């Protein structure tokens, strides 16, 4: 008897994919309103119309990333390395980027916590809150704006951009487990001793943004954080760096892309969420993914691993 492959109609694939996601989350013990709502939104957009289906077709790596991240809270502790790096990132920044003060040598994070200003809180908080949305909007512009949507090279580049988001996240998430690291706000609260695994996520300097506007954006967002000891690499910086690279490749939004990256580098330190080491690590991952996808794309087109 010959075993033939099952040919699933294209229209049914999203439904089966979402049902599989719900089943996995149920098995992990994490099925909730947010999980159901996310799946319903995806299916609604897919089946609503051709334009919305095209939108989902382009952005589904974003949704896939969100689903993976959401699931991590149920298995992170069981696969993470037992050795949490608390001192190493702190001492790296203090040694290489330390600032001499009357109180002694401070890390950039420690120095900025003594020099906060409401205007910086407002600007950095805004970008720290909207960084994923800005990345996605730039990707949608590069894919669907009239000047790009009929250009084969632009379509290829914008597609690589959205998949770069997915792959840099997977690379970053894996690092959380083999090199778990405490963020600077943890050191400010708990010191440099052995890691306290019971500590919950903390909005750190982002709380100043909420206090300014009377909102609860960051307290709500960090209440759902999947991993406290995932400071390395800084994905808050990795996404803007990818956006900047594709902006320069496509010759559009270059100034904004560069500003987006630089303000996020500053915000990550100013808001006490990342060390300079985390920023360098996240930027390096983005660079690896960016050129890796370009080489892969060129190999598929020409059979040669060359940059064009």
For residues 150-164, average pLDDT: 91
Mean pLDDT is lowest, of 24-28, 30-34, 140-144, 275-279, for 30-34
Same domain, 25 and 100: no
Q: Looking at the structure, tell me whether residues 24 and 160 fall in a common domain.
A: no
How far apart CA 148 and CA 155 sit, in angstroms, is 7
Its domain, for residue 32, covers 8-79
Last residue of a domain, one of 57, 79, 101: 79
Tokens of 292: 């890796």
| 1 belongs to a structural domain | no
Question: What local confidence, expressed as pLDDT, does residue 56 receive?
Answer: 86
User: What percent of the chain has pLDDT above 90?
Assistant: 60
Contact between 184 and 200 under an 8 Å Cβ cutoff? The reply is no
Mean pLDDT within 114-140: 97
Mean pLDDT estimate for the chain: 90
Query: Which of 145-149, 192-196, 198-202, 242-246 has the largest mean confidence?
Result: 242-246
- Poorest-pLDDT segment among 63-77, 158-172, 228-242: 63-77
β-strands 99-101, 104-106 pairing: antiparallel
**Half-sphere CA count of 252, side-chain side, radius 13 A:** 14
Rounded-to-integer distance, Cα 54 and Cα 163, Å: 15
> Where among 61, 79, 97 does a domain terminate?
79
- What does pTM read for this prediction? 0.89
* 123 and 187 share one domain: yes
User: Which of 79, 100, 126 is the last residue in one of the domains?
Assistant: 79
Q: What is the pLDDT of residue 308?
A: 62
Distance CA 172, CA 260 (A): 20
Query: What is the arithmetic mean of pLDDT over 272-291?
Result: 97
Pair 272, 121: CB distance under 8 Å: no
């Amino acid at each position: 008897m010959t075993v033939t492959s099952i040919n699933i109609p294209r229209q049914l694939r999203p439904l089966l994919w979402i049902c599989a996601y719900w089943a996995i989350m149920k098995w992990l013990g994490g099925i909730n309103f947010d999980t159901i709502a996310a799946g319903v939104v995806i299916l609604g957009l897919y089946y609503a119309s051709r334009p919305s289906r095209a939108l989902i077709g382009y952005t589904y790596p974003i949704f896939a990333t969100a689903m993976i991240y959401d699931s991590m809270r149920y298995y992170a502790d069981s696969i993470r390395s037992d050795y949490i790096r608390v001192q190493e990132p702190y001492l790296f920044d203090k040694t290489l980027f330390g600032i001499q003060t009357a109180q002694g040598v401070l890390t950039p994070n420690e120095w900025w916590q003594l020099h906060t200003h409401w205007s910086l809180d407002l600007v950095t908080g805004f970008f720290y809150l909207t960084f994923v949305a800005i990345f996605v909007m730039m990707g949608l512009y590069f894919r669907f704006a009239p000047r790009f949507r009929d250009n084969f090279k632009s379509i290829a580049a914008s597609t690589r951009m959205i998949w770069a988001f997915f792959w840099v996240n997977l690379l970053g998430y894996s690092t959380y487990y083999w090199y778990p690291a405490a963020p600077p706000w943890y050191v400010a609260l708990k010191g440099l001793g052995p890691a306290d695994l019971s500590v919950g996520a903390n909005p750190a300097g982002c709380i100043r943004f909420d206090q300014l506007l009377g909102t609860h954006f960051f307290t709500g967002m960090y209440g759902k954080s999947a991993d406290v000891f995932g400071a390395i690499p800084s994905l808050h910086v990795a996404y803007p760096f990818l956006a900047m690279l594709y902006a320069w490749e496509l010759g559009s939004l270059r100034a904004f892309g560069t500003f987006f990256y630089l303000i996020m580098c500053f915000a990550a330190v100013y808001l006490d969420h990342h060390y300079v080491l985390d920023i360098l690590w996240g930027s390096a991952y983005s660079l690896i993914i960016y050129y890796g996808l370009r080489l892969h794309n060129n190999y598929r087109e020409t059979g040669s691993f060359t940059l064009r």
